[in-house]
Amino acid sequence: MNRFRIVALLLAAAIATRSFAAEPPNIILIMSDDMGFSDLGCYGGEISTPNLDALAAGGLRFTQFYNTARCCPTRASLLTGLYPHQAGVGHMMADWNRPGYRGDLSPQSRTVAEVMRTAGYRTYMTGKWHVTRHLGDGPKHNWPRQRGFDRFYGMISGGGSFYDPYMLCRDNTLVSPFADPDYRPETYYFTDAITDHATRFLSDHAREHADKPFLLYVGYTAAHWPMHALPEDVAKYRGKYDAGYEPVRAARFEKAAKLGLIDPAQKLSPAPHRWADVKNQPREAACMEVYAGMVERMDRGVGRIVAELRRTGRLDNTLIVYLQDNGGCAEGMGRGVTKGRTDGPRAATPTLPPIALGVLPSGLVPPQTRDGFPVRQGPNVMPGPADTYVAYGEGWANVSNTPFREYKHWVHEGGISTPFVVHWPAGFAARGELRRTAGHLIDIAPTLYDVAGAAYPAGAPPLEGRSLRPAFADGPVAREALFWEHEGNRAVRVGPWKLVAKHGGAWELYDIGTDRVEANDLSAAQPDRVREMAARYAAWAARAQVEPWPVVAEKKK
Ligand SMILES: [Ca+2]
């Protein structure tokens, strides 16, 4: 046998082994911010989201996937596979010196990045972090690089201007968006900056680490307030929302039912506002036009990430997951008369001194733009540009959450229900199918460790969720119960049954299988079930470091 033949045989053997050994998939987690169940086209919405729709068509959509109703707790849970209080982030970023409420990821928890690294993965993150109270000059033990990510570009804090983001950071260094030698776009817009860095990390990976799998976590801030969108993105939606909430909600209901995502036998939840009662309808319609533009820009970013995977030959064996961190947001940021802020149109010329490009933004709601225009808030501000800072309001949040009740903060279905799109051509055969098994953020870490063959360290707090991999093949995912607590709003779900209460309110009992809009409270009819589920909730709350709301801060010694 000559040398060439031996080499050829060895090569053939290597190729054969390669094709039979299941290579661990690359993983991309994409999470968007403050969006509702029905915003995406593939979940019933009218907003154009062809790229996420394509992932859904080529993969799976879960119909009953849950988050934890708020930014920080969701991110803490996603990163650790624990309930948020167990990860030290039971509320937001304040430190109340109680184990469940440190405003900082617990040192005992292990992030997905830390664990996936031990399985040979390279780890990248772009976008919103929001799981530490230590911003700016504080200690960085809970910044992305210290919690397992090889590279990071994004926002350490939880929100800010899309044109001049607050606490913007590359790896371990805060940067001004306008004085960053490594990134000089023509127009700075945070959603694009997140996408540009995601694709940059992917192409660098293909060039420098082609032998390793990767984990990429993309935390878009679309479509969290402020309503900031580029004019060309808003233009497409001009006039589209002039008829108000009701027709959009009805159309979404009909489409989501047709897609099989909701049960048409159920009714829409009650609407909080009538369009006819809205005083400034042009401004209100503009809020949704801008929101839609923000979502579409984010979707285009997803398309660019997918294109980069395709270009580098990695699309087939990449597990892509898309979800949202909480339901549509009814917060009133900048919508009413706001002290010290200008309402109404912009002045013809700047009225304040400009801010040097190298200076870091001074806050979540900046007082002015770089070029000297005061940032306007109030009931007459038309949203979109950099010198405005308003939310889209309760009426549209209710539309986003069609057909469910309540919003971000609450643990009724409108607060905690999210689309969950899974795409992994090499991982399962199903295309465009729905999965009706309930799932929760706590399931994501175990799913990743399952598909990657990563070992979760024995000494770390036990994972709370289940691998969803059986559901990819339409099998069952066994579990006893799911739990929620945020600001005293609380819930437990066992099978189709959900026991839920608002802070200070009595338990309500619903059969989610037939009544996911939570219209028909069965608590009076089934007191035994209420008692049994309430006891389960109490046992979980005690185990998971949940404190009664409002949490009383423990004095520091
Ligand atoms: Ca959020």
**pLDDT for residue 548:** 97
The CA-CA-CA angle for residues 446, 327, 521, to 5°, reads 95
**pLDDT for residue 162:** 98
Provide the residues around ligand 1 (an ion) whose CB is within 5 A.
Answer: 33-34, 71, 325-326
Catalytic residue, chosen from 85, 91, 130, 197, is 130
Catalytic residue, chosen from 71, 72, 169, 287, is 71
**Residue 340: other Cβ atoms inside 10 A:** 7
395 CA to middle of ligand 1, Å?
17
Give the whole-angstrom CA distance, residue 92 versus residue 71.
8
Taking the alpha carbons of 502, 331, 267, 419 in that order, is the dihedral positive or negative? Answer: negative
Task: Please confirm whether the linkage preceding 403 is cis (ω < 30° from 0).
Answer: yes
Beta strands in 301-343 (DSSP E): 318-324
Give the whole-angstrom CA distance, residue 402 versus residue 37.
7
Q: Tell how strand 482-486 and strand 489-494 pair up.
A: antiparallel
324 CA to middle of ligand 1, Å?
8
Which residues, 6+ apart, have CB-to-CB distance to 17 below 8 Å? none
**pLDDT for residue 7:** 52
172 CA to middle of ligand 1, Å?
23
The CA-CA-CA angle for residues 235, 244, 71, to 5°, reads 75
**Span 222-261, pLDDT tens digits:** 999 999 999 999 999 999 999 999 999 999 999 999 999 9
**DSSP label at residue 101:** B
70 CA to middle of ligand 1, Å?
5
**Span 40-82, pLDDT tens digits:** 999 999 999 999 999 999 999 999 999 999 999 999 999 999 9
Q: Is 239 left (phi over 0), alpha (psi -120 to 50) or beta?
A: left
Q: Which of 3-7, 243-247, 373-377, 425-429 has the lowest mean pLDDT?
A: 3-7
458 CA to middle of ligand 1, Å?
32
Give the whole-angstrom CA distance, residue 499 versus residue 448.
29
**pLDDT for residue 87:** 98
**What are φ and ψ of residue 172, in 5° steps?**
-110, 15
Give the mean pLDDT of the chain: 95
Mean pLDDT of all residues in 254-279: 97
Choice between 9 and 118, residue whose per-residue pLDDT is larger: 118
**Span 6-49, pLDDT tens digits:** 555 555 544 443 333 479 999 999 999 999 999 999 999 999 99
**pLDDT for residue 136:** 85
**pLDDT for residue 181:** 96
405 CA to middle of ligand 1, Å?
17
**pLDDT for residue 9:** 52
Q: Is the pLDDT of residue 5 over 90?
A: no
124 CA to middle of ligand 1, Å?
21
Our answer to whether residue 71 is catalytic in this structure is yes
251 CA to middle of ligand 1, Å?
25
**Span 126-173, pLDDT tens digits:** 999 999 999 987 899 999 999 999 999 999 999 999 999 999 999 999
439 CA to middle of ligand 1, Å?
19
**pLDDT for residue 21:** 43
Mean pLDDT of all residues in 283-312: 98
Chain centroid to CA 372: how far? 33
Q: What share of the chain is helix, strand, coil (3-state, %, to 5)?
A: 30, 15, 55
44 CA to middle of ligand 1, Å?
21
